[in-house]
Structure 1
């Protein structure tokens, strides 16, 4: 028998933790250790950071430019479907997927905004590092808020199931 009570499953919480740790590690597609190395060692490490960031920003902006409207429509449909299924029909699997996917859209919007800023300013080493560090901070803030809200809602769900028994 398949159990769809997501908030009581250890696998849901493992997926949530892995998702946020990988989102805060890859800053707009650039590994954080590359940013740290560029902060500590001037020279080749900073040039590598500039190149990796340029590639990631170009890729992200070209994807948004070519399929941005269609992706926005699909994401809005997906999120509204999950919200209706989860909070009107009270399906816990849809609630859990909503709590995973809604913050991802916020991080995607922040990433797109940061990519546009990097593309427009074309910052050099220190300014680029500062922009990437600020972006990582915002992703971590969104992650902390998301994990807190998800944990509180999941705890309430689990307590309601225990009370019903």
Structure 2
């Protein structure tokens, strides 16, 4: 979404609606990258974000993002369409030890949500409202500390 904002920001503010509509109607994919220092110190590794043109993403670009209408949510929900968001890619890089946790957090879109994902929670809402999912806050924290299915417990123990 920052890439979209940068593209639109190149034009005068009064042209924003026209530029948004043109961009929404013409893009196939928007691919962005962040080059993150490798954990072994041998250069950098690319974290790639992919946004695909779908009715939902075109609508969000044309009308702008608003509460409940986020391109990040669209990318998260569009994994089966080949979309991916930076934080998902960065999480995998941290778990594979391609990059350090410190660098991963520094280059992430949302460091707090990345930390929760590394601890086995899917979002801040899951942490803030565990009673709605039928899980107590204590149980949610225990699952996160246990490393869940991703087996990242030893790395996460260093964080706390």
TM-score by length of 2: 0.28
**Looking at CA atoms only, which structure, 1 or 2, has the larger radius of gyration?**
1
Structure with the bigger RCO (C-alpha within 8 Å, sep 6+) is 1
TM-score by length of 1: 0.27
From the two aligned structures, give the one with the greater helix fraction: 1
